[in-house]
C-alpha cells in the first residue's frame, strides 16, 4: 500500500519532508543483540532498514509473523526488532524468553536486540536517534505504542514513521 493510500484511510504517516541533514550518522550507531553481541550499524549500509519496537503480549503481536514474512521475501530490507516493556508492561520476559517466544510462535529469524527502553529519558541510543530531530534531521516522535515502525533508507536517512496499526506488509519499500 502506498503512503497516500494509507493516509487516505486515516492512518497518520510521518514522512521526511525537510531538507535538513541528520547531525548524527545512522551508521555510527550500534546496539546489543539479545545474545549480548554488539552490532555496528555500518554493516547495514546500502540496505533499507525497518526498526520496530516489539512486545509479546500486545494486540499487535501477530505482526511478528508479518515482519518475518517481509524478512524472508524481501532481501533488500533489514528488520531490526527492539523488545521493550514501555507500553502496558506487555513485554515482561527476559531476552532469552523473548527469543524463545519469537522462534516458537512466529519462526523469527530477523535481528532481535536486547530488551530496553524505547521511550522516555532512559531510551536506548538507537531510539534517541530515531526520535530526536537534532540527530536524525526531522523527527521528534517517540513510539506511541508497541510495534511502532521507523523506515531508514539505503543512505542512513530516516524516511518514514509508521504507527502500530500499519502492517509491515503495507509499508511502501
- pLDDT value at 173 more than 90: no
Q: 122 lies in a domain?
A: yes
Q: 20 lies in a domain?
A: no
Dump pLDDT digits (tens) for 92-102. Answer: 999 999 999 99
Query: Once rounded to an integer, what is the mean pLDDT over residues 156-168?
Result: 95
Residue 166's pLDDT is 96
Q: What is the dihedral of CA 81, 86, 90, 91, to 10 degrees?
A: 50
Q: 8 lies in a domain?
A: no
Count of Cβ atoms closer than 10 Å to residue 94 Cβ = 11
Query: Once rounded to an integer, what is the mean pLDDT over residues 126-151?
Result: 97
What's the rounded Cα separation, in Å, for the pair 31 and 38? 6
Q: Is residue 102 annotated as a catalytic residue, yes or no? A: no
pLDDT class of 154 with cuts at 50, 70, 90: very high
Query: Once rounded to an integer, what is the mean pLDDT over residues 57-69?
Result: 98
Closest C-alpha to 82, from 12, 149, 3, 163: 149
Closest C-alpha to 155, from 1, 21, 32: 21
Count of Cβ atoms closer than 10 Å to residue 31 Cβ = 20
Count: domains in the chain: 1
Report CA-CA distances (Å) from 129 to 23, 137, 158: 10, 9, 10
Residue 84's pLDDT is 98
One of 3, 22, 50, 58 is an active-site residue; which one?
A: 58
Dump pLDDT digits (tens) for 27-50. Answer: 999 999 999 999 999 999 999 999
* Grid cell listed for 157: 536517512
Q: 126 lies in a domain?
A: yes
Q: 40 lies in a domain?
A: yes
What's the rounded Cα separation, in Å, for the pair 162 and 151? 8
Domain at 104, CATH number: 3.40.30.10
Count of Cβ atoms closer than 10 Å to residue 69 Cβ = 16
Is residue 21 a contact partner of residue 15, using CB atoms and an 8 Å limit? no
Q: 65 lies in a domain?
A: yes
Q: What is the mean pLDDT of the chain?
A: 92
Task: Report CA 2 to chain centroid distance, whole Å.
Answer: 19
Dump pLDDT digits (tens) for 100-135. Answer: 999 999 999 999 999 999 999 999 999 999 999 999
Q: 12 lies in a domain?
A: no
Bridge partners, 77 (sequence order): 48
pLDDT class of 2 with cuts at 50, 70, 90: low
pLDDT class of 16 with cuts at 50, 70, 90: confident
Q: 45 lies in a domain?
A: yes
Residue 12's pLDDT is 65
Q: Where are the beta strands (DSSP E) in the chain?
A: 14-15, 30-32, 38-40, 48-54, 77-83, 111-112, 149-152, 158-162
Its domain, for residue 120, covers 29-87+98-165
Amino acid at each position: 500500500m502506498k503512503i497516500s493510500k494509507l493516509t487516505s484511510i486515516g492512518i497518520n504517516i510521518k514522512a521526511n519532508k525537510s531538507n535538513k541533514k541528520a547531525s548524527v550518522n545512522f551508521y555510527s550507531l550500534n546496539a546489543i543483540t539479545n545474545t549480548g553481541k554488539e552490532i555496528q550499524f555500518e554493516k547495514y549500509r546500502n540496505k533499507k532498514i525497518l526498526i520496530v519496537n516489539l512486545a509479546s503480549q500486545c494486540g499487535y503481536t501477530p505482526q511478528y509473523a508479518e515482519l518475518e514474512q517481509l524478512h524472508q521475501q524481501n532481501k533488500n530490507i533489514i528488520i531490526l526488532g527492539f523488545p521493550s516493556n514501555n507500553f502496558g508492561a506487555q513485554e515482561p520476559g527476559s531476552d532469552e524468553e523473548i527469543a524463545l517466544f519469537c522462534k516458537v510462535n512466529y519462526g523469527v529469524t530477523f535481528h532481535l536486540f536486547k530488551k530496553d527502553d524505547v521511550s522516555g529519558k532512559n531510551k536506548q541510543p538507537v531510539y534517541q536517534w530515531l526520535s530526536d530531530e537534532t540527530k536524525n534531521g526531522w523527527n521528534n516522535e517517540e513510539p506511541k505504542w508497541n510495534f511502532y515502525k521507523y523506515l531508514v533508507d539505503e543512505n542512513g536517512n530516516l524516511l518514514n514513521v509508521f504507527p502500530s496499526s500499519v502492517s509491515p506488509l503495507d509499508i511502501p519499500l
